[in-house]
Every structure is written in structure tokens, then in C-alpha cells.
Structure 1
Amino acid sequence: MNPPANTQTEHLMDAMLARLQADFGDQLMVERFPENPQQYRLNHPRGAVLLAYGKSTFGHTQSTDATVQARHLVLRLTLIFRQLNGQDGVISHLDRLRACLIGWYPPNTDQACHPVSEQFIGHANGLWQYAQDYATRATQLQTMPDQHGPVLKRADFKEHP
């Protein structure tokens, strides 16, 4: 049995992670938000960008025979840095991350990424933490079981005189 394909959310997160790693991977640690945040340790000399799924909200269904909805997704970046200001600081990287993601169309979406919020989380043990939330839109479709028999795979048409 084949393993299941990535879900819509996983596929979107993989694409955003790849984009961030391509643009920032040589400067920062870029990875998914840890399963156990209390045990997370920043090992990079400058900082880290951690990607997490935030939330989704759904529009009204757009069809009478199946569920078709706009899905508004929010993905969160948590920035953990050793420095607040300057070229290596978190403030500079907030701006750089925005420049990287604003206007980018993740796969299988119909709206470019745009920021929705940005906030200071705190300062502890010499580390500065900020969060950025980015939104995009995809379509949520109902999975339709095969109710009408096999799918037509080939049609031969013959002309009648």
C-alpha cells in the first residue's frame, strides 16, 4: 500500500519552507516549529525562523450539489534571534521576510501571500522573539465518492451517413 500523499496544508507548508530555506537558509536556521517548543534550543549563531500552521477560516459554499469553499489560511513564522537591531537583528529580518513572501503565490492557491499581523512575543535568556502571520487563499473541495460507476476512459465516435 502506498503512503498517503501530502494534504493540502502539508503541501503548502512544504512549499513555504522551501522558499524560506532558499532565500534565508545560508543566513539562518529555517525549519518547522518544533513538536516540543519548551525543549527547543537555538543552535544557530544568528537566529531561526520557525514555520507553523496557524488557522483556516472558510467562506460560504459556492455550489448546490457539492461543497466548494474558499479557504483562508494563515501560516505563522516565529523568529528567534540573539540580536534585536542591526543587520543581523530580528527587526531587519522581519522586513526581509516580508519582502520574500509578499506577492508570492504558493502552489494550489488563488491569492498571493500577504501579511496579516506581526508582533513582539518576548525576550528571555538573551533571545528576542517575534511572530509574523501570512495569509493566502485556496479552495476547499468536497471529496466525492464514485456513485455512478466507472469513469469513461475512451469514447469512439463513428459518423452515420
Structure 2
Amino acid sequence: MTPPKTQTKELLDAMHKRLQVTFGKTLMVELFPENPANYRLNHPRGAILLAYGKSSFGGSEANDAVFQARTLVIRLTLVFRQLNGKDGVIGYLDEIRECLTGWFAPHCDQACRPVAEQFIGQVSGLWQYGQDFSMRATQLQAMVPNEPPLPAHLQFEETP
């Protein structure tokens, strides 16, 4: 039996699918390579490489269980043969931002939003840019069968 995918893997898969549907006919869309030093761009135009960047966590929103906001950042690395023009990375930065801004990923209660873009470098004729996108999910405490159950009298307070 295959174990269920984790929250992070499901988010990456969903973003990969969204980018593949939108750009799959014009660009390569794939996960960031395990060995980036040996990565070879095999597409005539360019590639979007996805990688989990980081998460930050808010304080627990309950006193008797861990329930906290998780803000994730997914890094896209764009590797292109051309900088400007119709096949250049500069135009695709805008198109990718338009594709992902406002999109709701699974497990998320806030839409995807851009948080950073930067020039990474130019190596062997390939232009590289990074785009970071953030979204918010919820991190819940995993219940272990041998632990005592949570109290039955949970009370939640609304914050103004």
C-alpha cells in the first residue's frame, strides 16, 4: 500500500500540474533536479524548475493541541536560452506570475502570491531567474493512537 502524500508534496504536485497545463506546450516544467550541477536544459526555449523553499509557522492557535498557520514559499527557477524577446525569460516572468497569483493550492486558506523575483545569473548561455511564491496552510498536530484523547470540553475564542 502506497503511503499518502504529504502536504508539501501535494502542494508541489498541484503547482506543477497548474504550470504544466498552462506552459507545458511551450516550456519544460519539472521539479528542481537532485543534482543541479549536472542539469542540462533539453528544451529549445526554457524550463520552469519547482522546489520547496521554506516554511514559517505562527504560534499555536489552541491551548490543548497544536494548530498553527504555516506560510510556505515555493521557489521557481527559470532557465532560459534567451533573455528578451518573445521566447525570453523576462516575458515569462510576467506570465508565470499571472498564472499563479490568486490561485488556491490544496490545503491552503490563502491564495498563492508572489513574494520575490531575482536574477540568479547567466552561465554557458543560459539565463536564470528565481521567483518565490507564498501560500498559507494549516499545520495540525498528528494524533498518536496511544496518547490520551483531547479534552471533550474544548472552547474556542474568536479574535477580533
> TM-score scaled by structure 1?
0.90
Aligned position for 2:129: 130
Aligned position for 2:16: 17
Stretches of structure 2 that go unaligned for 5 or more consecutive residues are 150-160
**Superimposed CA distance per residue, residues 24-44 of structure 1 (whole angstroms, 9 cap, x where no aligned partner):** 000000000000000000010
Shift of 1:87: 1.0
Shift of 1:5: 0.6
> TM-score scaled by structure 2?
0.90
**Superimposed CA distance per residue, residues 42-97 of structure 1 (whole angstroms, 9 cap, x where no aligned partner):** 01000000000000000000001100000000000000000000110000000000
Distance 2:82 2:100 in 1: 22
Give the ranges of 4+ consecutive aligned residues of structure 1 lying more than 6 Å apart after TM superposition: none
**Superimposed CA distance per residue, residues 4-29 of structure 1 (whole angstroms, 9 cap, x where no aligned partner):** 11000000000000000000000000
Aligned position for 1:154: none
Q: How do residues 15-94 of structure 1 correspond to structure 2 at under 5 angstroms?
A: 15-94=14-93
Aligned position for 1:7: 6
Shift of 1:148: 6.1
Shift of 1:108: 1.0
Distance 1:134 1:3 in 2: 29
> Aligned residue pairs: how many?
148
RMSD: 1.0
Letter matched to residue 129 of structure 1: Q
Percent identical pairs in the alignment equals: 64
Letter matched to residue 136 of structure 1: M
Aligned position for 1:112: 111
Letter matched to residue 37 of structure 2: Q
> Secondary structure of the equivalent of 2:19?
helix
> Secondary structure of the equivalent of 1:110?
strand
Q: How do residues 96-107 of structure 1 correspond to structure 2 at under 5 angstroms?
A: 96-107=95-106
> Secondary structure of the equivalent of 1:99?
helix
Letter matched to residue 133 of structure 1: D
